[in-house]
Amino acid sequence: MIQIQDIISVVEQFAPPALQESYDNSGVQCGNTQMPASGVLLSLDITHEVLKEAIKKKCNLIIAHHPLIFSPLKQLTGKNYVEQLIIKAIKNDIVLYACHTNADNIQAGVNKKIAEKIGLLNTRILQPKKRILKKLVTFCPEKQAASVQNALFDAGCGHIGNYDRCSFSTNGNGTFRANEHAQPFVGEKHKQHTETEIKIETIFESYKEHQVVQTLLQAHPYEEAAYDIYTLDNTHPQIGSGMVGELAQPMSEKDFLQHLKQSFGARGIRYTRFLNQEVKKVALCGGSGSFLLKEAIKAGAHMFVSADFKYHQFFDADNHIVIADIGHYETEHFTPEIFYSQIVKKFSTFAVHLSDHNTNPVNYF
Ligand SMILES: [Zn+2]
């Protein structure tokens, strides 16, 4: 029997909740995840129609991109749609779950999906995040060094870009003296001992720290394993905001906007002055991406595809780039497909549905 938590774990393995922005509220919105899962409904937003659809399709889990609860609730009386939906979900034993900015910040997330729909090649994260990486340094007797190193790799250490199991080792001498309470692995009590040790250095994503340290303590032969953890200033090239890539064939600015209209079902694109150049390099960000305009210009993109630009922000294109605001819903409505492919990869026979509803609150006249 598949538990609701098992489905959520698949999503969290793919988009770790620790990678969400500080203002976000990704994760369980309401409900008990320790129940057998009857089906999962995937949607961009949670609305009355989506909840009704879940009940009809016998899904007791809704996974949405946008969290239903954003500001903390002080009462639950049903005075607005958020409270009404929470109450109705709880009454119907339906778990509401959101995977929001953590899905934005991962390499294979929301922005990769948009890049695929545009047809971009050679994509990379537009604004990689800093201080996600930590370094672990540990000191281990020569004979056990390889097994400790392998255990650390298996726990998720040593990923750099397209490489894994990365580390660096040096030889040296460790010294220690065990007291009467100790059970030393090597050496004698009350005597200073010198042991030939290997210093192992490797990196890991900071949200894996607990797992990494537990693994080290289990795998290391010493009673007291010596280790250091450093926070690194490096950026993490696979984690961050927005994306930039290249079209296989350059297009005119007008043709590119037409291409966006078709690919994303955009009813109206708000855009800045054409620069009369071919579009080859394209930057993008799902949802509200105006904060990345400078990065898009810096990356040398001809076009920046995003949403939620305000009037004055359009001026900032300043003949450096063309902003194409195609609408928030339009940029992100393929996001449930990402969750779909992750879940069916793990649970191929489980009932996974993409919502039939267009939840866009914006209409075009
Ligand atoms: Zn959004």
pLDDT single digits (tens) 308-354:
999 999 999 999 999 999 999 999 999 999 999 999 999 999 999 99
**Ligand 1 mean position to 104 CA, how many Å?**
9
Average pLDDT, the chain: 97
Torsion of CA 299, 304, 306, 307, to 10 degrees: 120
Domain extent, residue 281, equals 106-126+241-326
Instruction: For residue 285, give the 3-state DSSP assignment.
Output: strand
- Say how far apart CA 32 and CA 266 lie, in whole Å: 37
pLDDT single digits (tens) 70-105:
999 999 999 999 999 999 999 999 999 999 999 999
**Ligand 1 mean position to 10 CA, how many Å?**
21
Beta strands 120-130 and 133-141 are unpaired
pLDDT single digits (tens) 216-225:
999 999 999 9
Identify the domain boundary among 201, 232, 263. Answer: 232
- Please tell me whether residues 338 and 285 are part of one structural domain: no
**Ligand 1 mean position to 168 CA, how many Å?**
41
**Ligand 1 mean position to 21 CA, how many Å?**
13
**Ligand 1 mean position to 130 CA, how many Å?**
23
**Ligand 1 mean position to 352 CA, how many Å?**
22
- Please tell me whether residues 27 and 39 are part of one structural domain: yes
- Say how far apart CA 59 and CA 38 lie, in whole Å: 5
**pTM of this prediction?**
0.91
Q: What is the pLDDT of residue 17?
A: 97
Q: Which is more confidently placed, 1 or 343?
A: 343
**pLDDT, mean of residues 7-13:** 97
Question: Could you tell me the CA-to-CA distances from 348 to 6, 55, 109, 164, 344 in Å, in that order?
Answer: 13, 22, 21, 28, 4
Residues with CB under 5 Å of ion ligand 1 are: 287, 332
Give the CA radius of gyration of the chain. 25
- Please tell me whether residues 193 and 252 are part of one structural domain: no
Q: What is the pLDDT of residue 84?
A: 98
**Ligand 1 mean position to 50 CA, how many Å?**
17
**Nearest Cα to 203, choosing from 240, 171, 235?**
235
**Ligand 1 mean position to 284 CA, how many Å?**
13
Q: Tell me if 250 is assigned to some domain.
A: yes
Which residue type occupies 226?
Answer: A
Extract the tokens encoding 338: 């990402």
Q: Tell me if 360 is assigned to some domain.
A: no
pLDDT single digits (tens) 243-302:
999 999 999 999 999 999 999 999 999 999 999 999 999 999 999 999 999 999 999 999
Q: What is the pLDDT of residue 161?
A: 84
**Ligand 1 mean position to 136 CA, how many Å?**
35
Domains identified in the chain, total number: 3
**Ligand 1 mean position to 362 CA, how many Å?**
13
- Please tell me whether residues 88 and 24 are part of one structural domain: yes
